[in-house]
Amino acid sequence: MKINLYNDSRDICHVTVIGELESFSEENTFLESIEAVKSKTLHITFLDANILGNRTVECLYQLQKNYTLRLFVLKAYLFSYLYSLGIYSNFVASKSLMENQTEKSCNAEPEEVKLFLQDIKERYGYDYTLYQIESITRRIQACMLKENVRGFKQFRQAILQNEQLFEQLFLYFSVNTTEFFRNPEVFNEIKNKIVPYLSTYPNIKIWCAGCSTGEEPYSLAILLNEMGLLKKTQIYATDINPYVIEEAKNGLYSLKNLEKNIENYRSSGVKGSFMDNFTVKGDYIEINEELKEKILFFQHSLDGNGILNEFHLIMCRNVLIYFTPLLQRKALENFANSLERNGFLVLGKSEGILHNNGYDFFCDFNKAYKLYKKIEE
Ligand SMILES: C[S@@+](CC[C@H](N)C(=O)[O-])C[C@H]1O[C@@H](n2cnc3c(N)ncnc32)[C@H](O)[C@@H]1O
């Protein structure tokens, strides 16, 4: 990471941040640089950052409120993230990363897409070869449209040569929709039927797989806190997408969704007040430290074989839906191997274990709510 500073003839201070602010000390360097120039009119540009830490977010929020700040970002992901927290930036769209297009055809045949996914796996290490082909093709086409590309062959070549372009496609592959206490009736069922089992263990270990921006593991932490069990709980929360993991670690959420969050919270049957778990920071809220410190967020992909083990509960909702039955089965087998005897699995509303041979590893605990129990060996 590098920071360039210069003052122009109008005494505007231009700060350009090159690279990601990855570590605590890089964030410190940025904050110290800003502290030194903050009385001036500031133009800050983030060239490469997709995500910023919560101290930087707070600094930008305060600068925008109290000083004259213009913010420029080159990554659409960062633009949306800041916007959701009430921080307004100018998105400088780079021109299409594709040049010299000659091909006319738009469509990609499934066989071509499969070969392309194989190439991506070899070049970048992300394995999408066992994702539902229709859905992945739609996402490729959406990315091609955004990049104004018509030829699949050229697109494929460019993705394999240009890491920046792959980053765009990767974000198209990632559907991160989530909310606090999503499908609250499921949380209610977990509270009434699963938590009584969990409470009998000296320590509780939970894995939230495909956790997106963190609302789901934080909801679990809130629920367990209200039930007096958080102190003896450790939650592992993982996702394939490193940017959502960084967002989750920040624990900053827009106030715009507050009504829906509170409605879900109430319907989940958890007693207490949703807002007791947050500090209001302006147009956004920050999750309390006592909840944050009980969750270990890290990047992890369910397409590999690596198991994280000895969990009492695994929650993996609205993730398997994007996988072929073969990959679903592989993930379910991994979950079974990662669970303690008598461990529980919670899947999403539209998911199940019937068409992927999941009954080899699990039995129904409450079919309607997609709660399953590991089969005894
Ligand atoms: C629709 S979100 C679901 C979030 C949350 N579980 C919920 O139900 O609200 C799906 C998440 O799964 C993640 N995902 C997709 N493929 C994955 C994989 N192979 N391994 C881990 N996470 C994956 C995506 O990045 C995304 O954040």
Distance 76 CA to ligand 1 centre (A): 20
Residue 254 host element (H or E): strand 252-254
Distance 270 CA to ligand 1 centre (A): 25
Predicted confidence at residue 96, as pLDDT, reads: 57
The closest alpha carbon to 209, from 356, 319, 128, belongs to 319
Do 364 and 231 lie in one domain? The reply is yes
Do 219 and 302 lie in one domain? The reply is yes
pLDDT digits (tens, 9 = 90+) for 72-87: 998 889 999 999 999 9
- Mean pLDDT over 217-230 rounds to 98
Last residue of a domain, one of 58, 91, 124: 91
The closest alpha carbon to 227, from 194, 191, 262, belongs to 191
CA distances from 55 to 32, 48, 125, 211 (A): 12, 18, 31, 22
Please tell me if the CB atom of residue 182 comes closer than 6 angstroms to any atom of ligand 1. yes
- Mean pLDDT over 119-133 rounds to 95
Please tell me if the CB atom of residue 302 comes closer than 6 angstroms to any atom of ligand 1. yes
Whether residue 280 is contained in a domain is answered as: yes
Distance 245 CA to ligand 1 centre (A): 11
Predicted confidence at residue 235, as pLDDT, reads: 98
Give exposure, 308-319, as e/b (b: 16+ Cβ within 10 Å).
Answer: beebbbbbbbbb
Do 263 and 322 lie in one domain? The reply is yes
**Given ligand 1 and candidates 190, 239, 302, 345, which is best to mutate, with the most ligand atoms within 8 Å of its CB?**
239
Last residue of a domain, one of 125, 147, 173: 173
Tell me how far apart the alpha carbons of residues 48 and 210 are, in angstroms, rounded to a whole number.
25
pTM: 0.91
Host domain of residue 118: 110-173
pLDDT higher at 142 or 260: 260
Do 8 and 147 lie in one domain? The reply is no
Whether residue 102 is contained in a domain is answered as: no
Whether residue 101 is contained in a domain is answered as: no
Do 156 and 188 lie in one domain? The reply is no
Do 166 and 193 lie in one domain? The reply is no
Whether residue 123 is contained in a domain is answered as: yes
Query: Residue 103 pLDDT more than 60?
Result: no
Predicted confidence at residue 95, as pLDDT, reads: 58
Question: Within a 10 A sphere around the Cβ of 298, how many other Cβ atoms?
Answer: 14
CB 316 within 8 Å of CB 346: yes
Do 169 and 271 lie in one domain? The reply is no
Please tell me if the CB atom of residue 239 comes closer than 6 angstroms to any atom of ligand 1. yes
Predicted confidence at residue 92, as pLDDT, reads: 85
Tell me how far apart the alpha carbons of residues 2 and 29 are, in angstroms, rounded to a whole number.
9
Last residue of a domain, one of 173, 201, 228: 173
Tell me how far apart the alpha carbons of residues 268 and 324 are, in angstroms, rounded to a whole number.
31
Distance 178 CA to ligand 1 centre (A): 9
Predicted confidence at residue 109, as pLDDT, reads: 86
CATH number at residue 261: 3.40.50.150
**Given ligand 1 and candidates 117, 120, 212, which is best to mutate, with the most ligand atoms within 8 Å of its CB?**
212
Predicted confidence at residue 192, as pLDDT, reads: 97
Do 203 and 114 lie in one domain? The reply is no
Instruction: Express as a percent the part of the chain with pLDDT over 90.
Output: 78
Across-strand partners of 346? 315, 371
Distance 349 CA to ligand 1 centre (A): 14
Nearest CA to ligand 1 atom 9: 178
- Count structural domains, the chain: 3
Query: Residue 15 pLDDT more than 80?
Result: yes
Please tell me if the CB atom of residue 306 comes closer than 6 angstroms to any atom of ligand 1. no
Do 196 and 314 lie in one domain? The reply is yes
Distance 319 CA to ligand 1 centre (A): 5
Predicted confidence at residue 149, as pLDDT, reads: 80
Distance 165 CA to ligand 1 centre (A): 21
Whether residue 179 is contained in a domain is answered as: no
Residue for token pair 């009584």:
196
Tell me how far apart the alpha carbons of residues 207 and 313 are, in angstroms, rounded to a whole number.
6
Do 210 and 288 lie in one domain? The reply is yes
Do 141 and 222 lie in one domain? The reply is no
Predicted confidence at residue 98, as pLDDT, reads: 54
Do 70 and 25 lie in one domain? The reply is yes
